[in-house]
Copies of this chain bind each other. A is one copy, B any other.
């Protein structure tokens, strides 16, 4: 066994991210994470402190939703709509996004999640908007983003597979335009 702290801690972080995304915070144990990473349980605590801290670090891994938000403000509604339509259809979704949906209900986790959503979604969308109360409108957009996650979690991927995906995307786009416009 080669000894490489950096590689090991990275494997732990990735294992944590994937498992939290797949099964939710409460369902994942430290021992599961260690096993998935091929590491010892004690190392998880040694490198990341507590389970909640590990969750927070995994959340900070970075999400591609940020790149969807960035870009031409005029096309923001369309990009978000496309992203959500894909999420409702496709089985493969980005880990960090799923972590948010399946996060637990403990106060500590809620606080971590709150900060993450505020920083990566609300603030960044609000920064793209003109007119009064940009954060209020960004909050409505977040409602749709988080709602899509809930629906996907409950109904499973491919829930709109059988029906017209393009129509859904068009509706989502119109809804985003309403909630984002000044």
Contacts and interface: CB of A to CB of B under 8 A. Distances in A.
Interface stretch (A46-54, A61-69, A140-148): A140-148
Interface in A9-52: 23-27
Contact of A178 (B102, B118, B149, B178): B178
B155 A114 contact: yes
Interface string A140-169: 101111111111011100011001100110
A104 B178 CA distance: 32
A153 B110 contact: yes
Interface in A123-150: 133, 136-137, 139-140, 142-150
Contact of A117 (B102, B154, B175): B154
B178 A174 contact: yes
- Do most interface residues of chain A lie in helix, strand or loop, or is the interface mixed? helix
A121 B124 CA distance: 32
Contacts of A56: none
A106 interface: yes
Interface band, chain A: 35 or more
A105 interface: yes
A172 interface: yes
A96 interface: no
A86 interface: no
A113 interface: yes
A104 B26 contact: yes
Interface of A: 23-27, 102-106, 110, 113-114, 117-118, 133, 136-137, 139-140, 142-151, 153-155, 159-160, 163-164, 167-168, 171-172, 174-175, 178-179
